[in-house]
Amino acid sequence: MNKRLQPVVIGIGACLINACGGGGGSAGISTNIDNDANYTLSQQTGLRLLLPEHVYQGQSVALGLLADKGKRIASASWQQTSGTEVVSVTSHSQVFAFDVPETGDYTFNVSGRFEDGDTFTIDASFTAASAISVANIRLDHLASEQASASLRVDGDINSSIVSVDWEQIVGPTVSDSETQDQYLFFDTPSVTQDTLFGFRATLTYSNGSEVKDDVYVVVKDVAIDNDGYFPKYIEQVVTSEVYPANADSPYAQTLVDCVYSNLLTSSCRFGSLPLIGANGDNYDVNDVMDHVVVSHPWMAQRFETFLKNSDIADDILQLLGSVTAIVISYDVRPSYYWAASGAIYLDAENVWKTPQERDSLNDEPDYRSDYGSDLQFIMPWRYVKDNDYYSAYSYPVARRLSRTDADIEADLSWLLYHELGHANDFFAPSVRSQVSSLNSPLSYVNDHAPTSDEFSQTWPLASDEMAALAQVRYQGESATSEQMAYTAEDVELFFTPDVATGFYHYSSTREDFATLFERFMMLYRLGVSSDVAILSSVDNDDLLVTWGQRDRVNDPSLQPRVAAAVESIYPSWDVSALQATMPAPVLMTPGINWYDNIELSPTAKLLAAKSPDIKQQLSLSSVSKERQQLWHPPIPKQ
């Protein structure tokens, strides 16, 4: 089921998922089941209560609930009743995780409901001792069966870690696992009742000292239809812990079932879940939030703040009229638009603000990250403002830093323009009010060609070589011997005479259309430029650029097709007039490092002290993945 371990490449059908998303060494974990595991599991009425046994100040711990066989927990709510206040973003979950701030006694209460209607309320307590030298694995959490899970261990940021060893200490043996630096990735097995899994990480520092920590994952028995859209076509069992951001939404009863359920087997009619703009443009942020589904409350808060305060809020609100819902969940990776539901799905990596919020995300790498690894070139891209990265700041996970709203805007703006470009491709503003309530998103798009179909006929891309290479890089096709022999100089000859702003345009006509729209809107609305380059991936540790260009979206050879794409969404705009006011393309200097090629304008400013930290992190692998990957597996006709 897991795409990381079992990649499946499916041909492109009439209706597509269009997505924007996300590697390293791998090894299994050792197994030493029930090796002095630091927890107690007490029987309660219909469930078991997970408690940490030995707790220390500064440690990351969790309280948890496991339903007995034949029972499923529908909701849970944790409240702290005594002790120094803890900070947690999982008080709504079966697993309540947090860092312990001080020594002393802590007590909590959890109340909730089973799916059969029975309710429960339980008290829980522990005593935290003085701090000792510990590692911290983040985050204890709940995961659905047959899903992907990730764990990360943090140590002393002032000490050099020379090794990290993972072992499983509780639960049925996990057979599929990978370790990468301080991360553990694994697939949860099928279970017939909520089941506890435990893992231990041992960190060894350069001075020979060792620190350890244990972590627990409750694998939830969930209802799954193997013929459902998510398990079958997305190849993902999604979390059952999602809910409407607004409990009073008029769509609260149907929203989750229509857009994020393992039991979804047909596209819901617009009569049950309409497009946000079905009744015209007279809707506001509150109306949009009625269509939002989240796995954690903070995700809704961050998204609403963006919609209210962003410099591009008016654009995004208008573009959101073409979707039925917005799903933000810790297990969405990468982001995508899906014609089966008419919804956009956003990777919550783009909206986190605090380290606690970041801890709750799934760090599972994009399973397509190594596609095209036998090619001799990479084509990185980035967004730039004032001759620096947009956003320019990096956030090493172990440093526990918070982001500003501006940082979140930098991550969300291009992503939303792209995904909403897809949505408006399938449901242009002119057709929103014309769709029948008896239609579903899928039935409508199967009977009505998206704008990008006609666009690709009128404004086609020309390079057959780039189109074929894109199937290797983005769809996982095997490279031919000829393709493996192409150098960066060869690719320059294929790409530069054509009319795409980047490599991903060639993966599908849908992505070509959405990426043109995205690049234009970022430059026009935010003054944010896009860079694209071609680098050799052979003997190029210095990341020297073979060819590169900034603001290719406004190259005269591309301007007519860019205008055609944008005007199909904004027909009242005179895009050619706007293009005349936008910056002209600038070429990078060949033979110069990709990062040093960031200063291209005559008024280039000196880079701030933060820049060397970013440069240090760059490698051929990291540069090729500076922005999320994109994907678009097909869905069935209905």
* CA distance linking residue 416 with residue 526, whole number of Å: 13
- How confident is the model at residue 323, as a pLDDT? 98
- How confident is the model at residue 176, as a pLDDT? 85
Is 417 within a domain?
yes
Shared-domain flag, residues 59 and 101: yes
Shared-domain flag, residues 155 and 269: no
State whether residue 316 is helix, strand or coil: helix
What's the average model confidence in pLDDT over 437-441?
Answer: 96
Question: pLDDT grade, residue 33 (50/70/90)?
Answer: confident
- How confident is the model at residue 631, as a pLDDT? 55
- How confident is the model at residue 7, as a pLDDT? 29
623 or 514, which is more confident?
Answer: 514
Question: What average pLDDT does the structure give for the chain?
Answer: 90
Shared-domain flag, residues 229 and 213: no
Shared-domain flag, residues 538 and 407: yes
Is 532 within a domain?
yes
Question: pLDDT grade, residue 632 (50/70/90)?
Answer: low
Q: Kindly give the residue spans of alpha helices, DSSP state H, lying in 539-626.
A: 559-569, 575-579, 611-617, 620-624
Is 371 within a domain?
no
CATH number (domain holding residue 163): 2.60.40.10
Question: pLDDT grade, residue 495 (50/70/90)?
Answer: very high
- How confident is the model at residue 417, as a pLDDT? 98
Shared-domain flag, residues 337 and 392: no
Q: Is 156 a residue whose pLDDT tops 80? A: yes
Q: Could you list the residue range(s) of the whole structural domain that residue 90 is in?
A: 32-220
* Spatial contact of 356 and 318, defined as CB atoms under 8 Å apart: no
Instruction: Give tens-digit pLDDT for 379-407.
Output: 999 999 999 999 867 888 888 999 999 99
Q: Give percent of the chain above pLDDT 90.
A: 82
- For residue 56, give the nearest of 152, 127, 156, 138 by alpha carbon: 127
Write out the two tokens for 195.
């089941």
Question: pLDDT grade, residue 34 (50/70/90)?
Answer: low
pTM: 0.93
* CA distance linking residue 353 with residue 303, whole number of Å: 11
Shared-domain flag, residues 215 and 246: no
- How confident is the model at residue 606, as a pLDDT? 37
- How confident is the model at residue 366, as a pLDDT? 72
Q: Exposure pattern of 439-448 as b/e (b: 16+ CB <10 Å)?
A: bbbbbbbbee
What's the average model confidence in pLDDT over 128-142?
Answer: 91
Shared-domain flag, residues 103 and 148: yes
- How confident is the model at residue 18, as a pLDDT? 47
- How confident is the model at residue 193, as a pLDDT? 97
Look at the block and give the residue holding tokens 């090796």: 35
Shared-domain flag, residues 453 and 543: yes
Shared-domain flag, residues 75 and 167: yes
What's the average model confidence in pLDDT over 139-152?
Answer: 96
Is 637 within a domain?
no
* CA distance linking residue 34 with residue 636, whole number of Å: 45
Last residue of a domain, one of 185, 220, 255: 220
Last residue of a domain, one of 330, 359, 388: 359
For 266-270, 373-377, 414-418, 603-607, which range has the lowest pLDDT when averaged over its residues? 603-607
Shared-domain flag, residues 524 and 479: yes
- How confident is the model at residue 490, as a pLDDT? 98
What's the average model confidence in pLDDT over 161-190?
Answer: 93
Pairing of strands 136-138, 148-154: antiparallel
| 342: region left, alpha or beta (phi > 0 left; psi from -120 to 50 alpha) | left
Is 367 within a domain?
no
- How confident is the model at residue 359, as a pLDDT? 96
Last residue of a domain, one of 197, 220, 243: 220
* CA distance linking residue 578 with residue 523, whole number of Å: 11
Q: Is 339 a residue whose pLDDT tops 50? A: yes
Q: Is 5 a residue whose pLDDT tops 60? A: no
- How confident is the model at residue 618, as a pLDDT? 56
Q: Is 10 a residue whose pLDDT tops 60? A: no
Is 4 within a domain?
no
Strands (E), 226-291: 243-244
Instruction: Give tens-digit pLDDT for 402-429.
Output: 999 999 999 999 999 999 999 999 999 9
* CA distance linking residue 347 with residue 340, whole number of Å: 18
Shared-domain flag, residues 342 and 481: no
Q: Crossing angle of helices 451-458/405-426, nearest 10°?
A: 80
Amino acid occupying residue 463? S
Instruction: Give tens-digit pLDDT for 605-629.
Output: 433 333 334 444 556 666 555 444 5
Q: Is 1 a residue whose pLDDT tops 50? A: no
Is 559 within a domain?
yes
- How confident is the model at residue 16, as a pLDDT? 38
Element (H, E) at 588: none
Q: What counts of helices (H) and strands (E) characterise the chain?
A: 17, 30
Look at the block and give the residue holding tokens 């979707």: 323
The total of structural domains in the chain comes to 3
Q: Is 178 a residue whose pLDDT tops 70? A: yes
For 80-89, 442-451, 605-614, which range has the lowest pLDDT when averaged over its residues? 605-614
Expressed in angstroms, the distance from the first to the final Cα of the chain is 23
Shared-domain flag, residues 466 and 519: yes
- How confident is the model at residue 611, as a pLDDT? 37
State whether residue 297 is helix, strand or coil: helix
What's the average model confidence in pLDDT over 538-550?
Answer: 96
Is 329 within a domain?
yes
Q: Is 306 a residue whose pLDDT tops 60? A: yes
Q: Give percent of the chain above pLDDT 70.
A: 89
